[in-house]
Amino acid sequence: MSLERPDHSAGETLEFKLKNVDNSVANGLRRILLSEIPTLAIDTVKISENTSVLPDEMIAHRLGLIPLSSMKARRMNFVRNCDCQKVGCSKCQIRGSLRVTCPPQSHSLDVYSEDLAIEDDEVRPVSIEKKGVWIVTLGRSQTISLDFIIRKGIAKIHAKFMPVGTVAMRFAADIRLNPVAMAQLSVDTRRLFVKRCPAKVFAFDDVKELVTIADAQKCIYCRECLIREPPFATSAPLCSVRLKRTDPVHEKFDFTFVVEATGVLPVKQLIFDAFAVLRSKLQSIREGLDSDPAMQGVLPTRTIGNAPTAPRVLDQEALEGGGGGEDDLAFTMH
């Protein structure tokens, strides 16, 4: 497994390749990026005064969705694990406030996330806008006065803790042209075949008048190149599109990831944090297996069915001391 970091990875979007890994590992990494990287967000809001047009619940909801820089999250405790027994201390929460009043001589006043007063210089709202995220517009003499608490969390608990906007994962493609079938097409039809691909995977060589593969990794598996309707009706498929297997025996593939960060953490840091979470999960499984007396020594296994190629699985019934029952799948292959 290798991680490639190209020169264009700086910024809010990162594209990297994950090579020679199982599908479950790649999908596990994707799910961790979406839901299990700790970040900071406004968790509790206490509103003392609100004379704006928005109700208290909507203002609290908008505050919770403001992205906050979260490098300090790795040094903070989850509330459930803190020594303060959920009372609240500097190790598990950060306090802040918002006090804004529209002057009587002004028609209106826009309130942005830069108006939040947070009692920690490391934590600040994140936005591509100069003044930050727009919260509400106050009318003449309207006032908002509130206090809030910032806590650490993950997106499994609430979407406001999500550190990414998008995580796209695609398999590397293995595309092969059929020269015999291509020879049955006219030159104009070959050019049309190249234009048919929405991802620009193919190119046309004007000198040799042949279709070539420009970039197989752009393939989005739309199957447009596999359609054999006129004018592409030939005796055989014009090409084949498969998943590129780097290890056919163990079903390992290459993947391309595109990660779009919200800005609460550097996009490269998100990748390394995701691998750290994945590693800790695998370590927990290993420790659990090693500490289970039933897993010591040679574990009993059985085949699913009687076919020569039937896979072997852990015999759960033998571990539990039983025999037969609904878990016995052998009858399905008789």
Q: What is the pLDDT of residue 6?
A: 38
Is the predicted pLDDT of residue 253 greater than 60, yes or no? Answer: yes
Query: Distance between CA atoms of 13 and 7, rounded to whole angstroms?
Result: 12
Query: The dihedral of CA 51, 55, 58, 64: what is its sign?
Result: positive
Per-residue confidence (pLDDT) for residue 291, from 0 to 100: 72
**pLDDT at site 86:** 83
Query: What is the share, in percent, of the chain residues with pLDDT greater than 90?
Result: 64
Residues 6+ apart with CB under 8 A from 50: 56, 59, 143, 144, 145, 146
Which pLDDT belongs to residue 284? Answer: 85
* Predicted local confidence at residue 315, as pLDDT: 62
Interval 67-76 mean pLDDT: 93
Mean pLDDT over residues 157-163, rounded?
Answer: 94
Q: What gap in Å lies between CA 326 and CA 82, rounded to an integer?
A: 44
Give the tens place of pLDDT for each residue, 127-140: 888 889 999 999 99
Can you give the length of the chain in residues?
334
For residues 132-160, give the mean pLDDT: 95
Is the pLDDT at 319 greater than 60? The verdict is no
- 199: closest CA among 173, 177, 180? 173
Mean pLDDT of 63-83: 93
Least confident of 19-23, 42-46, 287-291: 287-291
Res. 297 pLDDT band, cuts 50 70 90: low
174-195 residues labelled b (16+ CB within 10 A) or e (exposed): ebebeeebbeebeeeebeebbe
pLDDT at 81 over 50: yes
In whole numbers, what is the pLDDT of the chain averaged over residues?
Answer: 86
| Residue, of 159 and 9, whose pLDDT is higher | 159
What's the angle, vertex CA 292, arms to CA 290 and CA 297, rounded to 5?
A: 70
The structural domains of the chain, ordered by start, are 1-37+163-169+249-291 (3.30.1360.10), 40-160 (2.170.120.12), 173-243 (3.30.70), 299-333 (no CATH)
Listed in sequence order, the residues at least 6 apart from 160 whose beta carbon sits closer than 8 Å to its beta carbon are 41, 42, 64, 65, 153
User: Which single residue is written with the structure tokens 């995977």?
Assistant: 201
Rg of the chain (C-alpha set): 28
pLDDT digits (tens, 9 = 90+) for 269-283: 999 999 999 999 888
pLDDT tops 70 at residue 9? no
pLDDT of residue 59: 96
Residue 76: per-residue pLDDT = 94
Measured in degrees and rounded to the nearest 5, phi and psi for residue 136 equal -160, 160
Does 178 score more than 90 pLDDT? yes
In the predicted model, is pLDDT for residue 296 greater than 60?
no
Pairwise pLDDT comparison (255 vs 310), residue with the higher score: 255
Rounded Cα distance, 271 and 169, in Å: 13
Q: Give the confidence band of 3 by pLDDT, cuts at 50, 70, 90.
A: very low
Closest CA to 232 of 188, 279, 286: 188
Tens digits of per-residue pLDDT, 191-227? 999 999 999 999 999 999 999 999 998 898 998 999 8
Query: What whole-number percentage of the chain has pLDDT above 70?
Result: 84
Stretch 29-34: mean pLDDT: 95
Q: Are 75 and 91 in contact (CB under 8 A)?
A: no
Residues near 157 by Cβ (< 8 Å), separated by ≥ 6?
none
* Local confidence band at 164 (pLDDT 50, 70, 90 cut-offs): very high
Cβ-count burial 93-130 (b if 16+ within 10 Å, e if not): bbebebebebeeeeeebebbbebbebeeeebebbbeee
For 148-157, 167-176, 232-241, 300-309, which range has the lowest pLDDT when averaged over its residues? 300-309
